[in-house]
Amino acid sequence: MKKVLLTASVEHHFNAFHFPLIDIFHENGYAVEIAAHDVMGGKHHRKLKEKTEKIHDIAFERSPFSLKNKEAYRQLKKVIDENDYDIINCNTPVASIITRLAARKCRKKETKVVYTAHGFHFYKGAPKLNWLLFYPLEKAFGKLFTDCIITICDEDEANARKHKLCKNIRRIHGVGVNSERFVPAYEETKQEMRKEYELDADAKVCLCTGELNANKNQQMFISALPQVVKENPGFRLMLAGIGDKEDELRGLAKNLGVEENVMFLGFRTDIDKLLTVSDFICAGSYREGLPVNIIEGMLSAKPAVVSYNRGHNELVEDGVSGFFVDFGDTDGVATAFNKLCSDTELCGKMGKAAYERSEKYSCKSVEKELRAIYNEFIK
């Protein structure tokens, strides 16, 4: 039977991004295996086992400087050497480097190696260290050990072509978001669902989805809340996600006296419902490729308050479908939040504009792009 291996740093990457691709391989008669690190204690195992034929727990570390990646390389090379994969698709920067290094011999047996770049670490405004470390690696590995690089945003595609990272460079519009699950909701539905989440009917609610880590920068929004609650005392900031910054963020909210206004929701599988009960969304990441959380919000007709980065810049139109704020500009965040809270008509108008931009980022659109690319490699 034909086989494909998908690799990434962590298992939940596949739950978030790759079920449409897995379906495409299954439709074409491929057995699908994944190789990633289980960092969540098997929380995603049941769904992944339903979608794939085998899961290999590989001890990838996200840091390129971690010596543990030597063991990850050894583990992965053993898996690749002992299997006859027709296609290997790698994701996430460090895991993709290790994968392509481990797969270099099997390419001589006509195994095709595809790298999906969810966001190069070298980009406009990136630290010099990123350019010094990741750019030379991506250029060397792209030319020597990669059959195709798939980019998901405008800036990465432009960089890949400008620097000739690979002979075959392709573009898709993100990883695809389910446009049947994420939809605009009627006000009646919104209010009915708010009862389930114990939210007041007239409360203004902002949803922030993502891992609670330094890159996602949720502290910027919490820091702005004292100014927001002066005008909107019942305001709620919902943080959906887990991460190593949770205790720090809880402490910040308490110190600022806004702990009642921040809802720490943990890991969630009901983001569609959380969007329904929300008025708008926010995201303050320093670095993003093409963020799914923003696309989910767009499909749900929600305006966004976002930081400047390549992914946000591509998805959000400043003053049209949302507002941009500088990093650390808590005054700017508070102004944007209060404007969306006080002007229902503006909030609805911006949400409609966001929805009108969302179609090409839906699963149906992205699946067409993926099929066109993988038709080159599928036997």
| pLDDT tens figures, 97-139 | 999 999 999 998 999 999 999 989 888 888 898 899 899 999 9
CA distances from 306 to 68, 96, 131, 196 (A): 35, 29, 25, 28
- Shared domain check, 246 and 152: no
Least confident residue range of 33-42, 173-182, 213-222, 342-351: 33-42
User: Would you say residue 14 lies in a domain?
Assistant: yes
Residue 34: the pLDDT is 95
pLDDT computed for residue 18 by the predictor: 82
Does residue 366 lie in a domain region?
yes
Residues 86 and 192 in one domain: no
d(CA 90, CA 82): 18
Question: Residue 44 — very low, low, confident or very high, per pLDDT cuts 50/70/90?
Answer: low
CA 73 to chain centre: 25
Q: Is the pLDDT of residue 72 over 90?
A: yes
What secondary structure letter does DSSP report for 300? T
Residues paired with residue 313 on neighbouring β-strands, in sequence order? none
The 3-state DSSP class for residue 108 equals helix
pLDDT band at 64 (very low <50, low <70, confident <90, very high): confident
Instruction: Kindly report the number of other CB atoms within 10 A of residue 79's CB atom.
Output: 17
- Which of these, 170, 77, 159, lies nearest to 124 by C-alpha position? 159
In a domain, 353, yes or no: yes
Domain-embedded: residue 341: yes
Q: What is the pLDDT of residue 242?
A: 93
pLDDT for the residue numbered 175:
86
208-239 pLDDT, tens digit per residue, is: 999 999 999 999 999 999 999 999 999 999 99
Q: Is the C-alpha dihedral spanning 302, 306, 311, 316 positive or negative?
A: positive
- In 3D, which of 331, 337, 106 has the Cα closest to residue 207? 337
Per-residue pLDDT band at 350 (split at 50, 70, 90): very high
Residues whose CB is less than 8 angstroms from the CB of residue 258 and which lie 6 or more positions away in sequence, other chains included: 222, 225, 226, 229
Non-local (6+) Cβ contacts of 18 within 8 A are 6, 91, 175
Residues 252 and 316 in one domain: yes
Flag whether pLDDT at 257 surpasses 90.
yes
Q: What is the pLDDT of residue 88?
A: 98
Give the C-alpha separation, 149 to 119, whole Å: 12
User: Which pLDDT belongs to residue 221?
Assistant: 98
227 vs 66, which has greater pLDDT? 227
Q: Provide CB contacts within 8 A for 343, sequence distance 6+.
A: none
Pairing of the two strands 304-307 and 322-325: parallel
Helix (H, G, I), strand (E, B) or coil at 287: coil
71 SS3 class: helix
Q: Are residues 159 and 238 in the same domain?
A: no
Percentage of residues in the chain having pLDDT higher than 70: 98
Distance CA 354, CA 300 (A): 9
Looking at residue 305, which CATH number applies to its domain?
A: 3.40.50.2000
How many domains are contained in the chain? 2
Instruction: Quote the domain boundaries for residue 134.
Output: 2-176+362-374
Structure tokens that stand for 282 in this block: 């926010």
Whole-angstrom Cα distance, residue 33 to residue 82?
13
Main-chain phi, psi angles of 233, to 5 degrees: -60, -30
pLDDT for res 41: 67
Instruction: Say yes or no: 149 and 211 in one domain.
Output: no
For position 19, what pLDDT does the model report? 84
223 plus 260 within the same structural domain: yes
* Mean pLDDT, all residues of the chain: 94
Reduce the DSSP state of residue 330 to 3 states and report it: helix
The DSSP element (H or E) to which 169 belongs, if any, is strand 169-171
Considering the domain architecture, whether residues 17 and 152 belong to the same structural domain is answered as yes
Give me the pLDDT at residue 40, please. 67
Give the residue-averaged pLDDT of 280-287: 96
Q: What is the pLDDT of residues 236-249, one digit of tens each?
A: 999 999 999 999 99
214 and 125 within one domain: no
Provide the pLDDT confidence category of residue 207 given band limits of 50, 70 and 90.
very high
Report the alpha-carbon distance of residue 302 to residue 206 in Å, rounded. 10
Q: Token match 């400087």: residue?
A: 65
Q: In this predicted structure, what is the pLDDT of residue 48?
A: 84
- Return the structure tokens found at 203: 């409360």
Q: Give residue 11's pLDDT band: very low, low, confident or very high (50, 70, 90).
A: confident
Q: How confident is the model at residue 351 (pLDDT cuts 50, 70, 90)?
A: very high
Residue tagged 């989805």 (tokens):
209
| Nearest residue to 229 (alpha-carbon basis) of 351, 346, 341, 345 | 341
pLDDT digits 0-9 by tens, 288-299: 989 999 999 999
Question: Are 286 and 332 in the same domain?
Answer: yes
Tell whether 102 and 227 lie within a shared domain.
no
Q: Do 104 and 226 reside in the same domain of the chain?
A: no
Please name every residue paired with 237 in a beta bridge, in sequence order, or none if there are none. Answer: 206, 262
- Structural contact between residues 262 and 239, judged by C-beta atoms closer than 8 angstroms: yes
> Would residue 182 count as lying in a domain?
no
Which of 106-110, 262-266, 270-274 has the lowest average pLDDT?
Answer: 106-110
Q: What does the pLDDT read at residue 12?
A: 80
Q: Is residue 330 part of a domain?
A: yes
Residue 55 lies in a domain: yes
**379 within domain boundaries:** no
261 and 121 housed in the same domain: no
CA distances from 70 to 55, 66, 76, 137, 350 (A): 20, 8, 10, 17, 48
